[in-house]
């Protein structure tokens, strides 16, 4: 099943969409937001690994390592829930009658 773009939808010429000049030129897209989220999750995991390494060699604090690990875990859980919602929305759209 092919998905056509909005401009190719029969009976839709795009004239009902109101845009402002320059709108979106300085805003990041949805993909950019997801990339930023994944980058921050990766960064928090790296911070947690570094905190555990410091704890093991004696230069870091146990509390710091546990807090960093909890932060990384929470961010990962948030990312998984966002992914689940995106997949659910896609499946809902695909079940819509044409």
| The predicted structure's pLDDT at residue 77 | 96
Phi and psi dihedrals of 52, rounded to 5? -65, -40
Whole-prediction pTM value? 0.64
Reported as a pLDDT band with limits 50, 70 and 90, residue 95 is very high
Mean pLDDT of 50-61: 94
Computed over every residue of the chain, the mean pLDDT equals 81
Whole-number percent of the chain with pLDDT over 70: 72
Question: Which residue in 82, 54, 80 sits closest to 68, CA to CA?
Answer: 54
């Amino acid at each position: 099943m092919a998905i056509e773009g909005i401009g190719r939808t029969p009976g839709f010429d795009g004239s009902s969409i109101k845009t402002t000049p320059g709108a979106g030129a300085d805003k990041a897209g949805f993909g950019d937001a997801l990339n930023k989220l994944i980058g921050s999750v990766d960064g928090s995991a790296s911070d947690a690994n570094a905190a555990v390494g410091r704890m093991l060699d004696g230069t870091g604090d146990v509390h710091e390592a546990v807090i960093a690990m909890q932060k990384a875990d929470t961010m990962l859980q948030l990312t998984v829930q966002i992914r689940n919602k995106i997949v659910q929305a896609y499946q809902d759209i695909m079940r819509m009658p044409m």
